[in-house]
Structure 1
């Protein structure tokens, strides 16, 4: 599946409830992909949305 990068303004904020361990994991995954956590979460959400749409077709 092709990854799509989303442009996010520097002041964009995404609130996510998670434990400190989950936060560390999110930061590690985002860093691995060379993104900030907010951008990484947006990309993950867009990919899931795309997958759901493909599954419906």
Structure 2
């Protein structure tokens, strides 16, 4: 089933976000602990950086 134009655009934007994180040296090769991933705070702000939240929660869910 082919992707819609909107889905293609979203994927492009997510790829750009990933590239920007890597360029800024904010891309991590190790994932946060399970304790950090279980955070219930907005953006997991109590247990990980915003860049980690983008990489390990936002991008995969999108």
TM norm structure 1: 0.34
